[in-house]
Chain A
Amino acid sequence: MTTAIKWFWYASPQTFFPLAGKIAGWCAPAAAVLAAIGLYIGFFVAPTDAQQGEAYRIIFIHVPAAWMSMFLYVVMAFWAAVGLAFNTRLSGMMASALAPTGALFTFIALWTGALWGKPTWGTYWVWDARLTSELILLFLYFGFMGLKASIEDERRADRAGAVLALVGVVNVPIIYFSVQWWNTLHQGASVSLTRAPSMAATMLAGMLVMALAFWLYSIAAAMVRVRCLILERAR
């Protein structure tokens, strides 16, 4: 039994193709099951919040989606870096495969954030630190996807996207902290949505299960998309 996993064995798109299929085949149903559990916890186990009533139940989508949006960007940047460093085509494809799902979760975080803001703080759009950072993250995703879409040559597209993703990932914490500071500077108008209701353990459990469900879903989606890319690029 070989102890060292042959990492570069799976760096070949041809070899990775069936593996991606298997991973997706396992992750997709697992995601569905976990989502069902998470939603059950969110609606039937977690108690009603004292201040926000039932409106707070949006948290079970909003927070996991926000976590995923940031996590996927980092993973995307990771694969981009690997692609630049080792010149592996598959890494660039992985980064491309993750972007749309990441952008999707970013949008969901924004949408649910807006709908949560209206009943609790009175307006749909609140320029609080998290929502504003999510909006900027959405622009970063769109920039990445836009750049790749604008470049015909696949190799140049992958490498250019990789540089952009790396510059972006370095900037994400800078953006986050500067937006946080900006929010405190202009306090008064908005109160932060991120100050969640006092977390009952069940609320946290619901969020974590949903986050896990989203994570497995992202893996499945990325695997399927990567298979599409492998086939499309092989022409």
Chain B
Amino acid sequence: MLGVARAVVERDLLLALRRKSDVGIALLFFVIVTSLFPLGVGAEPNLLRAIAPGVIWVAALLASMLSLERLFAGDHADGTLEQMLLGGAPLGVIAAAKVLAHWLVAGLPVVLLSPLIALQYDLAPALYGTLALSLALGTPVLSMVGAIGAALTLGLRGGGMLLSLLVLPLYIPVLIMGAGSVELASSGLSPAGQLLLLAAALVGAAAFAPWAIAAALRISME
């Protein structure tokens, strides 16, 4: 089972490396969105500092959601997905492996870039760690829950917009916990509670999402 997982992760990473532009575009989107807010609300440092956690988190959400369409589309188009369904390997494991690869390519860069964006918003450096940690815990959850939506909307016209409608409401608790943890830290309170909730969400998603993703894939491919 681990062998299958590793093979899938390696394959997806290899494919992503070959199409570096796809990866770059999602990240660029994240950066551009965060640049829009100061342009929209004005560059007053106090205001930016206050909205930074929320803005960065929303941008991370949107970037995650945009890149989800590509999760299964490629394999669906060239028939690989069908092979995966017919093959003997447990679909849940394959799904989880694909999500992991997706996160490594779409989510992890966001986590690593976040201090840079936080710098642009004049967020206190002491908060960088909490911000990055909240994103590190939260973006995998976003990838996993989003993958369920991607599997359900596989091949549908209007897929991208529909996917957003399905998935964004489910993202909201993660957004609240993630941005909330940084806000707590900025007020001098401990973010531990919210971070632990995020960790719990991560564990829960890791345990149940692969099953849901597999079920959704089977439904979409019948």
Do any beta carbons of A and B sit within 8 angstroms of each other in the complex? yes
A156 CA to B157 CA, complexed, in Å = 15
Q: A150 CA to B170 CA in the complex, in Å?
A: 19
B173 touches A142 (CB 8 A): no
Identify which of B169, B180, B220 gathers the most chain A CB atoms within 10 Å of its CB.
Answer: B169
Shortest A40–chain B CB gap in Å is: 38
Give the size range of A's interface with the partner. Answer: 20 to 34
Q: Are A142 and B165 in contact (CB under 8 A)?
A: yes
| Partner of B162 from A136, A140, A150, A167 at Cβ < 8 Å | A150
**B213: nearest residue on chain A (CB-CB)?**
A163
Q: Which single member of A146, A155, A159, A171 contacts B173 (CB below 8 Å)? A: A171
B143-172 contacts to A (CB < 8 Å): 145, 148-149, 152-153, 156-158, 162, 165-166, 168-170, 172
Are B173 and A160 in contact (CB-based, < 8 A)? Answer: no
Contact present for B169 and A163 (CB under 8 Å): no
B180 close to A175 (CB less than 8 A): no
Asked whether A160 and B170 contact (CB < 8 A) given A146-B165, A178-B176, the answer is no
**Which residues 167-222 of B sit at the A interface, judged by CB distance below 8 A?**
168-170, 172-173, 176-177, 180, 183-184, 201, 212, 215-216, 219-220, 222
Q: Does A179 lie at the interface of the complex (its beta carbon under 8 Å from any beta carbon of B)?
A: yes
Query: In the complex, are the beta carbons of A143 and B212 less than 8 A apart?
Result: no
The chain B residue sitting closest to A141, CB to CB, is B169
* Chain A 146-181 interface mask (CB, 8 Å, partner B; 1/0): 110011000110011001101110010011001101
Q: Is A10 an interface residue (CB 8 A)?
A: no
Q: Which residue of B lies closest to A158 (CB)?
A: B219
A70→B162 CA distance, assembly (Å)? 23
**Beyond A147-B166, A178-B172, A179-B176, 14 extra complex contacts between A and B, CB < 8 Å:** A139-B169, A146-B166, A147-B152, A147-B162, A150-B158, A156-B222, A163-B152, A163-B219, A171-B170, A174-B173, A178-B173, A178-B177, A182-B176, A185-B183
Query: A82-106 vs B: 1/0 string, CB under 8 Å?
Result: 0000000000000000000000000
CA distance A144 to B183 in the complex (A): 33
Pick from A139, A160, A182: contact of B220, CB below 8 A: A160
Q: Shortest CB–CB separation between residue B18 and chain A, in angstroms?
A: 31
A182–B173 Cα gap in the complex (Å)?
Answer: 9
A167 to B170, Cβ gap below 8 A? yes
Residues of A within 8 A of B222 (CB): 155-156
Query: How many Å lie between the Cα of A96 and that of B201 in the bound state?
Result: 29
Q: Judging by beta carbons under 8 Å apart, are A175 and B173 in contact?
A: yes
- Name A's interface SS: helix
Q: Is the CB of B152 within 8 A of A160?
A: yes
Residue with the highest number of chain B CB atoms closer than 10 Å, among A136, A163, A168 = A163
Bound together, the chains give a CA A150 to CA B219 distance in angstroms of: 14
Name 13 interchain pairs, CB-CB below 8 A, sorted by A. A143-B165, A143-B166, A146-B166, A150-B153, A156-B220, A156-B222, A163-B148, A163-B152, A163-B215, A166-B212, A167-B145, A167-B148, A168-B169
Task: Report if A156-B219 is in contact (Cβ < 8 Å); known contacts: A150-B158, A151-B156.
Answer: yes
- Which residue on chain B has the smallest CB distance to residue A186? B183
In the complex, A185→B182 CA distance in Å? 12
Residues of A within 8 A of B216 (CB): 160, 163
Q: How far is the CA of A139 from the CA of B220 in the complex (A)?
A: 22
Closest chain-A Cβ to B204's Cβ sits at a distance in Å of: 9
Interface centre among A142, A155, A160 (most CB of B within 10 A): A160
Query: Which residue of the partner chain, among B165, B169, B184, contacts A175 with CB atoms under 8 Å?
Result: B169
- B172 cross-chain contacts in A, Cβ below 8 A: 136, 175, 178-179
